[in-house]
Structure 1
Amino acid sequence: MKLHETVAAVTARIQARSQGARSAYLARLDIAAARKPGAERMGCANVAHAFAGMPGNDKFKVVAEKAPNIGIVTAYNDMLSAHTPMQGYPDLIKAEARKFGATAQVAGGVPAMCDGVTQGTPGMELSLFSRDVIAMATAVSLSHDVFDAALMLGVCDKIVPGLLIGALHFGHLPTVFVPAGPMPSGLSNSAKSKVREQAAQGLVGRSELLQAESAAYHGAGTCTFYGTANSNQMLLEAMGLHVPGTAFVAPGGALRDELTREAARTVLGITKAKRFAPIGHVVDERAIVNAMVALLATGGSTNHLIHWVAVAHSAGISINWDDFSALSDVVPTLSRVYPNGSADVNQFQAAGGPGYVIRELLDAGLMHEDVLTVRAGGLREFTAEPALEGEKLHWTPIGASKDDSIVRPASAPFSPTGGLKLLQGNLGRSVIKISAVPENLHVIEAPARVFDSQEALHLAFAAGELNQDVVCVVRWQGPQANGMPELHKLTPPLAVLQGKGYKVALVTDGRMSGASGKVPAAIHLSPEAKAGGPLAKVRDGDIIRLDGTAGTLQVLVSEAEWDARPTVTMPEGAQVANALDMGRELFTGMRSHAKTAEEGALSWL
């Protein structure tokens, strides 16, 4: 299938824009790849330290026999349900490596916070920059420089982007990502949201709310809505960085264990065959475009309009929201998974899952097929479903959609355009998860009510002050102001107002998470208010028009008045509060150096 002209054009302009930085990146990568292995290159004391803790046979293999050595970077902890299954993965990987005459070591662990735990708390203000901490921890882990390949163990929101950014700074290493799969379906996401709305109105108490939340989040594995964590897995499949079809296989079973072993075999296959597929070459401009297309086709997390900008930058590639917008105009929406629909990711997997979506996009000419992946068979291998035949893995073609209310072919999509939309106007540039918003709410025009914190909005809601058509403006929520927390706790009160028949929208320089729902939300507004962005000019009563169809976001005042209006500064009390307690003071440097959301909120430049 011929590549769609818009996909080709966007890829070409990304390549042209990135030429200098990408060439310099690849030159550094190739120098590192050409060196002798660490056990031959390093001094004897260095080598002795590196392998002192290894079992004797492994030590002999890696030092005397020059066997490949896999570095494992793990985000395992007991706080994230998605990561608890990974506790035993290193032992599986080490045992499998030994079968093939290789060795493996846990190179290091990275922190991994659960946004579900920290939502609406001060800890959430560490969330976005935890991505950069994870990237740095990945670099520290791999800096021992005695590895011939790497396996990245992680799933959730900031963890996968952080691992990927870190791995790309060691782009000479063949690298495979190893997920754990979703938890079993519990209380449906829509039923959970209904209880949250009832609690926001005082119709149910804490006991009933806790019971509902515990029925939804009830076991090991990823949360079952299509938020940032599960969008991560979709994008890794589209970039060819997983064992094919691994993303949404349930944790804890024989198939999941065998897929983990296959990850070790896959990365050793690259190393031993000397097939030139280090991660820095796999993640090229075409792979980044494939990830963007997959995100748009599935209505994935808005967070990736920040994270994948940072990922691309780490491979010497420059992308921006105009690229996402151009692709969104031609990429159809092929899936409906909560919050874009009622299905959860287990139902998505059963209906065809990532393999179905990737096949449809390839066949429609909307993805690059001629790309490197971690497998010799290329991206087509990611259009098949894994299963066990006895003790051996095999893959079968996905076939037709098993449920066309969840996944549809590119010839008959849910929408002819993608799930995310760029909004532009005199308030700056922002994004909206338009696929989650009912069509009759794509355009909202109403008076503004300005808040300096999400707590202030909750108080106004509780006092009955928002029972009207309203655009809630929540500012001082950007990377420089307070670390750009997710404002997901605002969803229930705003949804209640919407349910009462009011026209409601949110405009903010903060994030709204991969669970951005049915309330129109213009998020990631750039430049942020703290940096002097126009959001700091908005006053109560200003009429704001959010037009998700036209892609505009405007304060409806005259140009002369708007230009003359002064910007307000961040309240001193808020600045002090955002800098203290819960470890926030440790992130002061990151906040002060942070780039805009559209620039990936990078903190290390």
Structure 2
Amino acid sequence: MSLHPVVERVTARIADKSRRTRETYLARVDAARPQGPTRRHLGCGNLAHAFAASGSDKPMLKTGAGGNIGIVTAYNDMLSAHQPMEQYPTLIRMAARNAGGSAQVAGGVPAMCDGVTQGRTGMELSLFSRDTVALSTAVALSHEMFDAALMLGVCDKIVPGLLIGALSFGHLPVIFVPAGPMPSGLPNKEKAAVRQRYAEGKASRDELLEAESASYHGAGTCTFYGTANSNQMLMEVMGLHMPGTAFVNPNTPLRDALTVAATEQALRITHLGDDYRPIGRTVDEKAIVNAMVGLAATGGSTNHALHLVAIARAAGLIIDWDDLDELSQATPLLARVYPNGSADVNHFHTAGGLGFIIRELIDAGLMHADIRCVHGGDLRQQAQAPALDGTSLVWRAPPTQSGDTAIVRGVAEPFDREGGLRRLQGNLGRAVVKISAVAPEHRAIAAPAKVFDSQDALLDAFKAGALGGDFVAVIRGQGPRANGMPELHKLTPTLSVLQDRGQRVALLTDGRMSGASGKVLAAIHVSPETACGGALAKVRDGDPIRIDAEAGVMQADVADAEWAARAPSISDLSGNAHGLGRELFGLMRANVGTAEEGACSLFSNDVADDTLHAHR
């Protein structure tokens, strides 16, 4: 099947505008490839420190020729998605020994839970935790002991951070090893209904806690299709997982078999063998385009409008929201998973899941099948489904038909003619909007602005009965430089209540929403942000605001002369600088790029500096 012309055009455009930065990056990848086991280049004292506590692996590390795997783990037992990883290093070390190699935990990375910090001050550290994870990954791999790496992580900022860090060691083969989703609990729509009732004062805290606990009830990833599960989709379509790994439940024989298989494969694809697959060459412009198409086709998280830009930049590639918008308009929506539907990811997986969707997109020419996947094949093989035949791990062809057309559909009968994400632009700047969960009748609004400098100010206005009529809620001062760009998901129940009452409402902000962005129109990530003199600082209460997701328009309908004469009104941001560790992140806030540049604080020199210069 030939490539869809839009996919072909966007891929070529990315390759062209990234030519210089990508060539520089790949030259560094090639120069870093060692001869023989990496550890042999260390001095004797260095090496002795590195294997002093390695027990039965010491002879291999001291004199053997086998590969050594660095394990970078985001394990902690507060995150349900990461708790199953507690015993992964033991399993990986055993599998590596049996395959003639070795494995060591190279280091741990921080792993915060956005579900715990949602609506709290700690959420102001969330986005910068991605950059912290990337830095921690680099520290872990800096010991020059490793011939390959396994990344243990699942959740929101953690997988992007692990990937950005790993790309700085682009000469290493890297495989991502997730834990899988928890079994289905209270249906997400029922949980959302209790949240809305609580926002209206019609449900007690005890009722709300009971509903939340029935939804988030055990080990594994949260089952809605937010950023964590979108991460797993991305790793599949970029070829960084063993095939079909994303949504196998934790603590099952199949999950353990996949972890063992990832270990064995990591040793096969080192520079010591004949099938060397460094991550710097796996993550190319084709893999990045696959990621954007997969995001659109499944209605994935808006957070990846930031993360994919930063990931691409780490590999010397330049993308922007125009690329994402163009691909999304050409990609049909093939999945309905909460918040874009009532199903959770377990139902999605059972109905055919990613294997079915990847095959459909390849057959329609919407994905590059010829990427260099870590499992040794191409993307078509990535679509295979893992299973156990007795105790042996096998892969089978994906289903040819959807198991439930209310959840998964083929390209011939999509849920929508285009994907879930769009780019908006106008005199307010540029922004991202997720439309896959928004009903067509709510995808455009023309209404007066109600301006707030925090989400709590809006909630206070709601409680005071001051949010009557149609309006666009403008929440400003929420960008990465202002306060770390927190998610504003706390607003979802309140805005949903107003919309259900018959009011036309929308959100307009330089902050983030959530991987669980829902049924209310939300123009988010507005760039430039308020703290940098962005146009949201000019908006006043009552200004007519027009947002049209279908047309890609975001506009304050104020006379040009008046708009030009207005001085920006920027709120006092000093309260964001201290408390709960925020003072430690001042350097990141001061150096962070714009939302469309990935809201990243890491790229200020070398290849990344070239990337920024070319983009601007």
**Range into which the TM-score falls when normalised by the shorter chain:** over 0.9
- Output aligned runs, 1:37-52, within 5 Å: 37-52=37-52
What CA distance in whole angstroms lies between the structure 2 residues aligned with 1:282 and 1:73?
Answer: 19
User: Which residue number in structure 2 is paired with residue 189 of structure 1?
Assistant: 188
Per the alignment, residue 212 of structure 1 pairs with 211
Q: Retained in 1: the 8 A contact 2:76–2:111?
A: yes
| Partner in structure 1 of residue 197 of structure 2 | 198
- AA of the residue aligned to 1:589: L
CA distance in 2 between partners of 1:377 and 1:542 (Å)? 55
Match of 1:512 in 2: 513
Matches within 5 A, 1:419-458: 419-458=420-459
Q: How does 1:165-564 map to 2 (within 5 A)?
A: 165-271=164-270, 273-399=273-399, 400-564=401-565
TM-score, length of structure 2 as denominator length: 0.97
1:66-92, CA deviations, whole angstroms, 9 ceiling, x for partnerless residues? 221000000000111000000000000
Displacement of 1:416 in angstroms is 1.2
SS at match of 2:545: strand
Distance in 2 of aligned mates of 1:274 and 1:216: 47
CA distance in 1, matches of 2:132, 2:386: 34
Contact 1:165 1:314 in 2 (8 A): yes
For each residue in 1:29-80, what CA deviation from the matched residue of structure 2 results, as whole angstroms up to 9, or x when unmatched? Answer: 111114443332111101111111101x311112212221000000000111
Q: Which string of whole-angstrom CA distances, capped at 9 and with x for unpartnered residues, describes residues 201-256 of structure 1?
A: 10011111111111111000000000000000001000010010000000011000
> CA contact under 8 A between 2:39 and 2:144: conserved in structure 1?
no
Q: Percent identity?
A: 62
Is the contact between residue 454 and residue 477 of structure 2 (CA under 8 Å) also seen in structure 1?
Answer: yes
SS of match in other structure, 1:553: strand
Q: Check conservation: 2:39, 2:146, Cα contact below 8 A.
A: no
Q: Does 1:148 align with 2:147?
A: yes
Task: Report the secondary structure of 1:521's partner residue.
Answer: strand
SS of the equivalent of 2:446 reads: strand
**CA–CA distance in 2 between the matches of 1:265 and 1:100?**
6
Residue 600 of structure 1 is matched in structure 2 by: 598
1:580 to 562, 569, 578: 578
Instruction: Report the alpha carbon displacement of residue 370 of structure 1 after superposing the two structures with TM.
Output: 1.3
Q: Structure 1, residues 514-536: CA drift from partner, whole Å, max 9, x if none?
A: 10000000000000000000000
Question: What's the secondary structure of 1:76's corresponding residue?
Answer: coil
Instruction: Provide, for residues 541-597 of structure 1, a one-character-per-residue CA deviation record: whole Å limited to 9, x for no partner.
Output: 0011110111101111122221111111222xxx22101110000001100111111
Deviations 1:233-285 (A, max 9, x none): 00100001001000000001100011110110111121253313110000011
**What is the rounded CA distance, in whole Å, between the counterparts of 2:474 and 2:395 in structure 1?**
49
SS in 1 for 2:436: helix
Cα RMSD (Å): 0.8
Query: Which residue of the partner structure matches residue 121 of structure 1?
Result: 120
Q: Deviations over 1:171-213 (max 9, x none)?
A: 1001100000001111111111110010001001111111111
1: CA distance, partners of 2:309 / 2:515? 16
2:269 aligns to what SS in structure 1? helix
Verify the 8 A CA contact 2:37 2:66 in the aligned structure 1.
Answer: no
Letter aligned with residue 52 of structure 2: A
Give the Cα separation in 1 of the matches to 2:267 and 2:347. Answer: 33
Provide the C-alpha distance between the structure 2 equivalents of 1:39 and 1:182, rounded to a whole number of angstroms: 36
**Structure 2 CA distance for aligned equivalents of residues 37 and 318 of structure 1:** 33
User: Which AA in structure 1 matches 2:377?
Assistant: G
Q: Could you say what secondary structure the match of 1:436 adopts? A: coil
Match of 1:5 in 2: 5
1:105 corresponds to which residue? Answer: 104
Q: Which TM-score applies when normalising by structure 1?
A: 0.98
For residues 227 and 38 of structure 1, the distance between their equivalents in structure 2, rounded to whole angstroms, comes to 38
Moved more, 502-511 or 562-571: 562-571
Q: Determine the C-alpha separation between the residues in 1 that align with 2:398 and 2:109.
A: 35
Q: Indicate whether 1:95 and 2:94 are aligned.
A: yes
Measure the CA separation in 2 of the matches of 1:132 and 1:116.
Answer: 19
* In structure 1, distance between residues paired with 2:600 and 2:491: 26
Which residue of structure 1 aligns with residue 608 of structure 2? none
1:244 alignment partner, SS class:
coil
Give the whole-Å Cα distance in 1 for the aligned partners of 2:257 and 2:190. Answer: 35
Matches of 1:39 and 1:259, distance apart in 2: 27
Which deviates the most, 262-271 or 518-527? 262-271
Q: Residue 160 of structure 1 aligns to which amino acid in structure 2?
A: V
SS for the counterpart of 1:544 is strand
Please give the secondary structure, in 1, of the residue aligned with 2:186: coil
SS of the residue corresponding to residue 375 of structure 1 reads coil
The alignment of Structure 1 onto Structure 2 pairs a total of residues equal to: 601
Do the aligned partners of 2:339 and 2:516 also contact (CA within 8 Å) in 1? yes
Secondary structure at the residue paired with 1:249?
A: coil
SS state at 2:72 partner? strand
User: Counterpart of 1:395 in 2: which secondary structure?
Assistant: strand
- Give secondary structure in 1 for the equivalent of 2:170: coil
Deviations 1:478-514, CA, capped at 9 Å, x for gaps:
0000000000000011001001000000000000011
Compare 60-69 and 232-241 and name the one that shifted more: 60-69
Would the aligned equivalents of 1:39 and 1:66 in 2 still touch at CA under 8 Å? no
| Partner SS for 1:288 | helix
The runs of at least 4 consecutive aligned structure 1 residues that moved more than 4 Å come to none
Aligned partners of 2:575, 2:203: CA distance in 1, in Å? Answer: 32
Q: Distance in 2 between matches of 1:499 and 1:331?
A: 30
Structure 1 SS opposite 2:506: strand
AA aligned to 2:546 is: R
Q: Secondary structure of 2:288's partner? A: helix
SS at match of 1:233: helix
Secondary structure at the aligned position of 2:71 is classed as strand
Tell me the distance in 2 between the aligned counterparts of 1:252 and 1:504: 43
Query: What is the DSSP-based 3-state SS (H/G/I as helix, E as strand, rest coil) of the residue aligned with 1:95?
Result: helix
| Counterpart Cα distance in 1 of 2:180 and 2:497 | 33
Q: How far apart are the structure 1 equivalents of 2:3 and 2:417?
A: 17
**Is 62-71 or 240-249 further displaced after alignment?**
62-71
> What is residue 612 of structure 2 aligned with on the other side?
none
Name the CA distance, whole Å, in 1 between partners of 2:383 and 2:28: 33
1:381, distance to aligned residue in structure 2 (A): 1.2
**How far apart are the structure 1 equivalents of 2:415 and 2:406?**
9
Q: Match of 2:128, as an amino acid? A: F
Deviation per residue, 1:450-484 (Å, 9 max, x gap): 00011100100000100211100000000000000
SS of equivalent residue, structure 1 residue 562 = helix
Distance (Å, rounded) in 2 between the aligned partners of 1:75 and 1:176: 14
Q: Do the aligned residues in 2 keep the contact of 1:148 with 1:174 (CA within 8 Å)? A: yes
- What is the match of residue 590 of structure 1? 588
> Take 1:544 and 1:360, find their aligned partners in 2: how far apart are those partners?
39
Q: Secondary structure at the match of 1:356?
A: helix
Contact 1:239 1:290 in 2 (8 A): yes
CA distance in 1, matches of 2:354, 2:570: 45
Distance 1:208 1:276 in 2: 54
